[in-house]
Chains A and B, each alone.
Chain A
């Protein structure tokens, strides 16, 4: 649809602009302000320029948690997107069974994040949790509080459990939007199941998948509460992701300047990657 050029439309976006600017710009300016100062206490701040940025960029601990973060977000996307599409394809198309599936699948999304952490904290325990017990019974030595790999996998599994439903719900509503005529045409052409998926369903899912990929990337990159409750970042620092490193720095150690500089770099990374996704997608749209 062609849009009409009309600058009066600004009046309609103005409330959103003001509201978001209030919640975003003022705090962001505060962060920028912190990042160039060394703060000892109220009234005792010294301008240090780009000192904190230099320090943060070379900090080994931060680099480690950044790498862990990328590995985690990558794994999240690789597992959740295909799994979500698969689940959406399996869900009944309509009727009471469809509604029931929809509601049951949505349940993990509606649980507050700290409760998610609490559930898995017990559920994955070897002695009193069903999951930990079952894995141990299967002859695999599993202990998420002691073993680094186990802890990492448990956090990943928890996230898959928690967020795949979001991908599934988005894909499900995308699939429902495909007109029946498309399937009938495919049947006349005797298209295989795979061809129907590849050439009808997947292209029509593209726009919901964009939302799903972007949301999952952003949220997994900011994950904090769930691993914090589940493992507290341990054992060692194997499940300490960026947000947790940052929060410990800002609130635990009250190292404001460094935390602020780190915040800005963190924000820029998320922004850059999301922008790459976003332009890649809009670019692909234009080519069509």
Chain B
């Protein structure tokens, strides 16, 4: 019992330390700029919602959130659609060049985005996709698809092949088996993968900023606009920052049980 006590104390301290910077952001978002820069206050002395009001009343601000959510959703859907069959192939079959292909896919996860900035800009401009949600979604596939294949393959390896064979004996066609039998068995894996795809696409800024200018600009890029003639508008910046955390919180809430069960299948 004492063991659990120590553990609880340990994890509580860790989480408190982890949340302090986040609290500081929250704290700032309810302060006026004068108070933020005036000195150290542990909680807002003049509690204000003005910073949030700025964001919710200005279309150029809240459109940033809508843009980010649009390309992140497209990206998650594309990633899952292409990665599921591919991961199945890697987990079940031996085929010409499979190992090389797998490592090549992973190697794209390793390509520093800074390397690809300029060529990406030219590529998407030349095919007329510059400043669209789909351009960012496609660009983010570069690092999300390999990761998704990697994670899903681990889950699929954990499902014995006897299930496949039994389904075929029962007269299922491949697509029907895949959708009706196989996917439900690895739904934890799909949940975890969707979470990772969401996360890496949501937090990425470099590519998203390079590939957009007005219509599809992500919230992260809009935030840099708060740096105006009178210096940085810290209050609004903090409020915008707080709001960027919320979609992620919702996603993790939905997949929490999958993450906990997470890698139970296959890989581990």
A residues whose Cβ falls under 8 Å from a Cβ of B: 1, 3-10, 12-13, 15-17, 19-20, 22-24, 26-28, 30-31, 86-87, 89-92, 94, 98-99, 101-115, 118-120, 122-123, 127-131, 133, 161, 165, 169-170, 172-174, 176-178, 193, 204-205, 207-208, 211, 215, 218, 221-222, 224-225, 242-243, 246-247, 250-251, 256, 263-264, 266-267, 270-271, 274-275, 278
Contacts and interface: CB of A to CB of B under 8 A. Distances in A.
Q: Which 6 pairs, one residue from A and one from B, show the smallest C-beta to C-beta distance? A: A110-B248, A173-B262, A27-B119, A9-B93, A12-B89, A30-B119
Interface in B212-267: 219-220, 223-224, 234, 237-238, 240-241, 244-245, 247-249, 251-253, 256-257, 259-265, 267
Contacts of A91: 11
Contacts of B203: 109-113
21 contacts: A1-B161, A7-B96, A13-B101, A16-B83, A24-B142, A91-B11, A102-B252, A109-B199, A111-B22, A112-B203, A118-B241, A174-B263, A178-B268, A205-B268, A207-B154, A221-B112, A243-B114, A250-B118, A266-B115, A267-B111, A270-B111
B28 interface: yes
> Which bucket holds chain B's interface residue count?
35 or more
A219 to B, nearest CB: 9
Contacts of B54: none
B190 interface: no
A89 B69 CA distance: 34
B86 A13 contact: yes
A120 B36 CA distance: 14
A121 B191 CA distance: 34
Given A6-B93, A90-B10, A207-B267, A103 B241 contact: no
Contacts of A27: 116, 119-120, 123
A23 B119 CA distance: 10
Contacts of A1: 157, 160-161
Contacts of B252: 102-103, 106, 110
Given A15-B82, A111-B241, 19 more contacts: A1-B157, A1-B161, A6-B94, A9-B93, A10-B95, A15-B85, A105-B18, A110-B248, A112-B202, A112-B205, A112-B241, A113-B220, A115-B223, A118-B223, A161-B21, A207-B268, A221-B112, A278-B103, A278-B106
Contact of B244 (A90, A111, A178): A111
